C-alpha cells in the first residue's frame, strides 16, 4: 500500500507540473497530435479555468501525502550505563605446601565452609624436632663461648697493667745506668743490660695490649655465633610451623584437601579456597561510555537463570584499556551473606549515571537522512516535514529512548520514508499509548 501511494503521488505531481508550469508546451503537443487548430483554441479557452481549479485544489488535504504522527513529550529518566558481565569471587587462593612431607590429617571435602585460620593439612614433622633441639644447643654453646671470651678481657687488661709497670721499672734502670756510665761509675755491660730490659718491657706491653684486642675479638666472634645459632632456631621453628597449613581467610573449599598419606612436595596443592561474601561483578565499559561511570556510583544487576536482582557500588574503574577491545574494566562489589550468588554467573548490569530528558518512541520511527545520519522526521505546526537528528540512549521492549529533541515534538511514525524535509503533509495523530 505504501508503494502504491508513493506512485500515485508522483503521477499527480508530474501532471500538475505539466499542466500549470509547462502549459504552452503541453497544449502544443496535444494540438500536433490532434492536427486541429480548433482543438488548440479550445484547449486555450479551457486552460485557464482548469488551472484555476488545480490551483484551488492543490492545497486540499486530498492531494497531500497522508502520514501517521505522534505527539511526544520528553520525560526525565535515569541515564544508566548498560553492560554485560559476570560474577567473580572477591578472593580465590590455591593454598600450597611450603615444605615436603607426608599428610597426616584426614581430608576436608570440597564445598565445606572453613573459617580463617582453620587447619587444612597437617604434615609429618619427621626429624624437624631434632633439628630444632640441635639449633637450640648451638645457641647455648655460643653463649658459653661468649662468657669465656668476656672473662679473658680482665686477664688481658691485668697483663697490660703489669707490662706497663715493668716498662716503667726498665725505663728507670736504663736512665740510672746511662747516668752512671756517663760519670764512669758503671760499666758498659750494665748499660747494655738495662737497655735490653727496657726493650723487653716494651715488647711485653705490646703483647699484653694485643691480648686485650684478641679477647674482645673473641667476644664479638662468640656474639656472631650466638646470632647464627638463634637464626638456626628460628629456621627450625618456621619449618615446624609449615607442617600445619591453615586457611588464609573464611570461605568455601573448591577442592578436597590433600588426601591422608599423600606426599606433598614444596609447592604442591593442599586446597583451593574462594571467598564469595562480598562478591564482585566485573564487566568492560566501551570508551564512548567510560566517562559516565564513576567509582562509588550505585549499580544493579540481573543475574541469569533466575538469579534475581542485586545491587552494589562501583569499587574500581580501570585507567588502562584492553589493547584489543579498547574497553575498560569496571568492578562492582555486592553483598552476598547467604552465598546465593555463585562465581561465574552472567549478569546484566546497570550503572547509574546523570539523568536526562528523553522521548520513548518506536524504533520503526527512526530513519536516515541523505548524509546517513540517524534521526526522526517531525512535523511543524504548519504540517511541514523536517529532519531532526537524535541520539539513542536506551533500547527497551516498549521502544527506544531518544535524546537531542525538544521537550514537545510531533513525530511521523508511519510514512516517514515517503516524505522529505520541506514537504507539507496531511498528518493523522495517534495516542501516546498506542
Shared domain for 375 and 299, answered yes or no, is no
As a whole number of angstroms, the distance between CA 127 and CA 135 comes to 13
CB 275 within 8 A of CB 262: no
276-322 pLDDT per residue, tens: 989 999 999 998 788 889 999 999 999 987 778 999 999 999 999 99
Domain span at residue 30? Answer: 2-63
Shared domain for 281 and 294, answered yes or no, is yes
Domain assignment present for 236: yes
137-151 pLDDT per residue, tens: 888 888 887 777 777
Shared domain for 163 and 141, answered yes or no, is yes
pLDDT higher for 204 or 295?
A: 295
The whole-model pTM stands at 0.53
Asked if pLDDT for residue 58 goes beyond 50, the answer is no
What stretch of H or E contains 394?
strand 391-395
Shared domain for 137 and 225, answered yes or no, is yes
As a whole number of angstroms, the distance between CA 26 and CA 20 comes to 9
Shared domain for 153 and 192, answered yes or no, is yes
Domain assignment present for 43: yes
Number of domains present in the structure of the chain:
4
| 177: its cell numbers | 745506668
What is the predicted pLDDT for the residue at 245? 94
Quick one: how far is CA 310 from the chain centroid?
20
330-379 pLDDT per residue, tens: 999 999 988 888 898 999 999 988 777 889 999 999 999 888 889 999 99
Number of H helices, E strands in the chain: 5, 22
Shared domain for 331 and 408, answered yes or no, is no
What stretch of H or E contains 121?
strand 119-122
CB 125 within 8 A of CB 243: yes
CB 281 within 8 A of CB 312: yes
Shared domain for 54 and 70, answered yes or no, is no
Mean pLDDT confidence for 216-235 = 83
Shared domain for 320 and 364, answered yes or no, is no
Domain assignment present for 254: no
Domain assignment present for 154: yes
| 232: its cell numbers | 638456626
CA angle centred on 2, ends 409 and 382, rounded to 5°: 30
As a whole number of angstroms, the distance between CA 427 and CA 379 comes to 8
Please report, for the domain that includes residue 337, its CATH number.
2.40.30.170
Shared domain for 228 and 280, answered yes or no, is no
Domain assignment present for 417: yes
Domain boundary residue, one of 351, 372, 398: 351
Domain assignment present for 386: yes
Shared domain for 372 and 426, answered yes or no, is yes
Domain assignment present for 378: yes
Shared domain for 341 and 374, answered yes or no, is no
pLDDT higher for 364 or 190?
A: 364
Shared domain for 362 and 346, answered yes or no, is no
As a whole number of angstroms, the distance between CA 272 and CA 261 comes to 19
Domain assignment present for 111: no
Per-residue pLDDT band for 117 (boundaries 50, 70, 90) equals very high
Amino acid at each position: 500500500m505504501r508503494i502504491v501511494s508513493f506512485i500515485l503521488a508522483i503521477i499527480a505531481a508530474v501532471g500538475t507540473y505539466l499542466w500549470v508550469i509547462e502549459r504552452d508546451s503541453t497544449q502544443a503537443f496535444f494540438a500536433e497530435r490532434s492536427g486541429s487548430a480548433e482543438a488548440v483554441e479550445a484547449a486555450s479557452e479551457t486552460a485557464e479555468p482548469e488551472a484555476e481549479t488545480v490551483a484551488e485544489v492543490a492545497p486540499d488535504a486530498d492531494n497531500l501525502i497522508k502520514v501517521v504522527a505522534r505527539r511526544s513529550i520528553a520525560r526525565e529518566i535515569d541515564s544508566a550505563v548498560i553492560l554485560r558481565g559476570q560474577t567473580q569471587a572477591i578472593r580465590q587462593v590455591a593454598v600450597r605446601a611450603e615444605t615436603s612431607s607426608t599428610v597426616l590429617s584426614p581430608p576436608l571435602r570440597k564445598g565445606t565452609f572453613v573459617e580463617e585460620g582453620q587447619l587444612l593439612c597437617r604434615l609429618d614433622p619427621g626429624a624437624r624436632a631434632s633439628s630444632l633441639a640441635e639449633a637450640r644447643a648451638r645457641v647455648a654453646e655460643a653463649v658459653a663461648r661468649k662468657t669465656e671470651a668476656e672473662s679473658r678481657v680482665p686477664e688481658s687488661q691485668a697483663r697490660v697493667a703489669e707490662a706497663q709497670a715493668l716498662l716503667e721499672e726498665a725505663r728507670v734502670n736504663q736512665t740510672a745506668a746511662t747516668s752512671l756510665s756517663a760519670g764512669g761509675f758503671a760499666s758498659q755491660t750494665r748499660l747494655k743490660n738495662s737497655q735490653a730490659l727496657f726493650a723487653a718491657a716494651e715488647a711485653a706491653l705490646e703483647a699484653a695490649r694485643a691480648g686485650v684486642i684478641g679477647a674482645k675479638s673473641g667476644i664479638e666472634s662468640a656474639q656472631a655465633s650466638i646470632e647464627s645459632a638463634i637464626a638456626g632456631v628460628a629456621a627450625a621453628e618456621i619449618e615446624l610451623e609449615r607442617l600445619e597449613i591453615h586457611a588464609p581467610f573464611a570461605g568455601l573449599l573448591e577442592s578436597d584437601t590433600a588426601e591422608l598419606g599423600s606426599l606433598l612436595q614444596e609447592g604442591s596443592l593442599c586446597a583451593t579456597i574462594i571467598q564469595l561474601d562480598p562478591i564482585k561483578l566485573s564487566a568492560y565499559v566501551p570508551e564512548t561510555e567510560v566517562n559516565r561511570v564513576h567509582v562509588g556510583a550505585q549499580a544493579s544487576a540481573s543475574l541469569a537463570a533466575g538469579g534475581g536482582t542485586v545491587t552494589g557500588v562501583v569499587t574500581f574503574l580501570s585507567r588502562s584499556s584492553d589493547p584489543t577491545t579498547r574497553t575498560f574494566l569496571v568492578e562492582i562489589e555486592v553483598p552476598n551473606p547467604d552465598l546465593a550468588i555463585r562465581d561465574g554467573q552472567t549478569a546484566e548490569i546497570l550503572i547509574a549515571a546523570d539523568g536526562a530528558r528523553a522521548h520513548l518512541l518506536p524504533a520503526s520511527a527512526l530513519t536516515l537522512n541523505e548524509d546517513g545520519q540517524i534521526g526522526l522526521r517531525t512535523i511543524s505546526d504548519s504540517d511541514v516535514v523536517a529532519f531532526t537528528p537524535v541520539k539513542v540512549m536506551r533500547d527497551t521492549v516498549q521502544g527506544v529512548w531518544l535524546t537531542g529533541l525538544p521537550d514537545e515534538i510531533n513525530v511521523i511514525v508511519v510514512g516517514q520514508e515517503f516524505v522529505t524535509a520541506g514537504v507539507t503533509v496531511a498528518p493523522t495523530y495517534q495516542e501516546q499509548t498506542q
